[in-house]
Structure 1
Amino acid sequence: MFWVSLLALGATVQAVPQRGGAGGLSMLRFGCAQSVIDRIDPLVDPGKIPSPHVHQVVGGNAFNASMASTDVSNLASCTTCTFAEDFSNYWTAAVYFRARNGSYKRVPQMPNQQIGNADGGVTVYYTATEKVTAFKPGFRMFSGDAMRQKSAGLGRNMQSCYRCFPGPNFQANTQSPCMDPKIDSEDFPKTPCPGGIRSSVIFPICWDGKNLDSPNHIDHVSPPVGGPASFAVVNGKCPASHPVKIPQVHYEIVWDTRMFANKADWPEDGSQPLVLSNGDTTGYSQHGDYVFGWKGDSLQKAMDGKCFGPSCNGLKTQAFPAANKCTLKSQVSENMDGWLDKLPGQGMSMSGMVF
């Protein structure tokens, strides 16, 4: 099928005619520039300043240490996303490089393939192949496990992964996310990635139809019957407990590891040098947070209209020169960049995780 060949490019999809994604596919793919690097987390640690570890955040400027369960599109005045009606917030843990001398340096993000001149940030997908119900104001969810230290055992259906680009310009980017056995892994790559590392986080596609959130931010959503599926495989049947099909949300973050590819700078024992901002050196605890904030019924219209790529009939867009300006001031006054003796907020347990 035509659209399968596009997906096989591994997130290099370009816009095709604005209506009628091939095979009935709806797939928004767009960039959201970085709005702030900060140590707050309104989902897991609401109101806590500072929260335990650093996050990199994109989306609407209503992002705050606490966010009421309300329509955040009415609270925001700008967004870093190229869909100008998307005031949602999307965030993940940051990534740091551990040098041979034990110091840390935050790994910056760089624009994803086919995205444009974004100030780092996240590439966001919303995917469906059938009628789906868009999220409601106040909806939020979480994907991953911030305490995981081993594989989730899902094989190629892993819900988070890292793609190690062996050369510039997204070299070897020929398969869909998490599906390449040579350059994709569920944990941090063990070899240098001179072209950067693309990190993927995939969210569930079924909802209980009642709760906008749950205590762990996971239980109100669910994978389809049979378990989690890979990127863009969204035709599974939802369980009776979570009967409402929702768009598949998927994040891609490209970490600019080009300056960290020299193994002479790596730890002396040869171990891989990357660490998530929560202290995890395995990479298995990669996770994503989501707060819905599309204006009105704009997301529902996009899904119903089989929109594909970075534009959609009836939806307003903005260029990155405008999106890049929608920044927030960090609420925690600390050095999160430069060369650091320890990770920001580092309070290590025996396992090395930040609490």
Structure 2
Amino acid sequence: MRSSSLSTALLLSLVPSTFAAGILRFGCSRITVERLDPLVTPGQNPSPHVHQVVGGNAFAATINHTDVATLADCTSCSFSEDFSNYWTANLYFQARNGSYKRVPQMSNRFLKGSNEGMTIYYFPEDLRSNVTAFKPGFRMLVGDASLRGPEGHTPKNCFRCFTGPNFEGDNAAPCADPVLDTPHLPTRPCLGGIRSNIHFPTCWDGVRLDPDDHKAHVAFSVGVNGTYACPATHPVKIPQVMLEIVWDTTAFNDPSDWPATSDNTTATQPFVLSTGDRTGYSQHGDYVFGWKGDALQRAMDSTSGCSASTCGALTSQSFVTANRCLVKRQVHEDVEGCKWLPSC
């Protein structure tokens, strides 16, 4: 089995036969690529760096703290009841001449038809426990755009270097392969592309929906003997949200095009996040909850019929429809490529 479908299969293989947890894995096309960040810098236009954004069309420089599902009227996700927004920093290639080019994303195998974007996962972390779905107004952030090294890095954020076409090298769950998965950007050509995985915390304090830092209300669980316990300060188990982006780096794999070291003899790692980060440690994800009504809770409570991109408890739409959901560009600048800027 290939592609991230293997990741889903690994998750399903852990589920006891007596309880089939609700597991969602679905594609969302991009709705915009621009410098906006309504979570960290609300109202600022432009924000400090470029993001790729998927989900509902309520995305803007500011998103009111209300039920986002009532603000949006379309979504780029294949489940039509998900009006949430998800966004990450973009990846750029820097050529030897100093110019930059945005690295496009490609659809995960078996989720073809999306317009770039990303794959979204929701599942109970230990696949055995019930979870409480997020409430309207809930938002969170994982990762740190200012990081340039391992100190403070979220262990469950990683990059995987695909060793060949058709997702070759996808032979373990995300962030579980000590060879192919790294917290930093791969330093060698990845013949099949680079995958980003971003895991959000799975424990909530049960009270706050969006504190000032967008982080203090959630926490990572502690794994003990194959189970995952929430700390007493954050006792409510929430769904594991994971973002998965497959960067199509195949057009940039010739080391002769890569920047060279000062002695002009050795090619150096050519990719840079839109945060201006060449290490990859600044990889981060933003989330604004926007599922309609109790749709997400129904899916998470399902003991049958919800597995990956098929869920009888939810309404699906085709990517033909999903790809029509866009937002009007609010920052008028070239985000596809640039020259000699500290960040894109």
Q: TM-score, normalised by structure 1?
A: 0.88
Q: Deviations over 1:262-288 (max 9, x none)?
A: 101000122100000010000001000
Equivalent position amino acid for 1:181 in 2: P
Residue 12 of structure 1, CA deviation: 5.5
Residue 24 of structure 1, CA deviation: 3.1
What is residue 102 of structure 1 aligned with on the other side?
Answer: 98
What is residue 351 of structure 1 aligned with on the other side?
Answer: none
Q: Deviations over 1:70-93 (max 9, x none)?
A: 101011010000000000000000
CA distance in 2, matches of 1:46, 1:73: 19
Say yes or no: does 1:259 pair with 2:251. Answer: yes
Distance 1:159 1:325, change over 3 A: same
What is residue 214 of structure 2 aligned with on the other side?
Answer: 217
On the 8 A contact 1:7/1:175 being kept in 2, the answer is no
Q: How high is the sequence identity, in percent, across the aligned residues? A: 53
CA distance in 2, matches of 1:205, 1:274: 30
Say yes or no: does 1:175 pair with 2:184. Answer: no
Equivalent position amino acid for 1:138 in 2: G
Say yes or no: does 1:243 pair with 2:235. Answer: yes
On the 8 A contact 1:85/1:315 being kept in 2, the answer is yes
What is residue 334 of structure 2 aligned with on the other side?
Answer: 335
- Correspondence list, 1:260-279, <5 A: 260-269=252-261, 270-279=267-276
- Correspondence list, 1:125-144, <5 A: 125-128=121-124, 129=127, 130-144=129-143
On the 8 A contact 1:38/1:55 being kept in 2, the answer is yes
Residue 127 of structure 1, CA deviation: 0.9
Q: Deviations over 1:102-132 (max 9, x none)?
A: 1100101110122121111010000112111
On the 8 A contact 1:98/1:274 being kept in 2, the answer is yes
Q: TM-score, normalised by structure 2?
A: 0.90
Paired residues in the alignment total 332
Q: Deviations over 1:234-271 (max 9, x none)?
A: x4111111110000000000111010001010001221
Equivalent position amino acid for 1:106 in 2: R
Q: List, as ranges, runs of 4+ consecutive aligned residues in structure 1 with deviation greater than 4 Å.
A: 5-10, 12-16, 20-23
Equivalent position amino acid for 1:219 in 2: A
Residue 294 of structure 1, CA deviation: 0.3
CA distance in 1, matches of 2:17, 2:327: 35
Distance 1:314 1:262, change over 3 A: same
Provide the aligned C-alpha RMSD in A: 2.6
On the 8 A contact 2:3/2:108 being kept in 1, the answer is no
Deviates more, 1:82-91 or 1:105-114: 105-114
Distance 1:188 1:33, change over 3 A: same
Unaligned segments of structure 2, at least 5 residues: 262-266
On the 8 A contact 1:39/1:51 being kept in 2, the answer is yes
Out of 290, 298, 301, the position equivalent to 1:301 is 298
What is residue 75 of structure 1 aligned with on the other side?
Answer: 71
Distance 1:334 1:142, change over 3 A: same
What is residue 33 of structure 1 aligned with on the other side?
Answer: 29
On the 8 A contact 1:197/1:255 being kept in 2, the answer is yes
Residue 159 of structure 1, CA deviation: 1.6
On the 8 A contact 1:15/1:308 being kept in 2, the answer is no
Say yes or no: does 1:66 pair with 2:62. Answer: yes
Out of 262, 277, 280, the position equivalent to 1:280 is 277
Q: Deviations over 1:6-60 (max 9, x none)?
A: 99964354999xxx98853321000001110010000000000000000000000
CA distance in 1, matches of 2:84, 2:113: 20
Equivalent position amino acid for 1:328 in 2: V
- Correspondence list, 1:169-208, <5 A: 169-208=166-205
Q: Deviations over 1:311-332 (max 9, x none)?
A: 2113100011111111122211
Distance 1:251 1:22, change over 3 A: farther
Distance 1:122 1:7, change over 3 A: closer
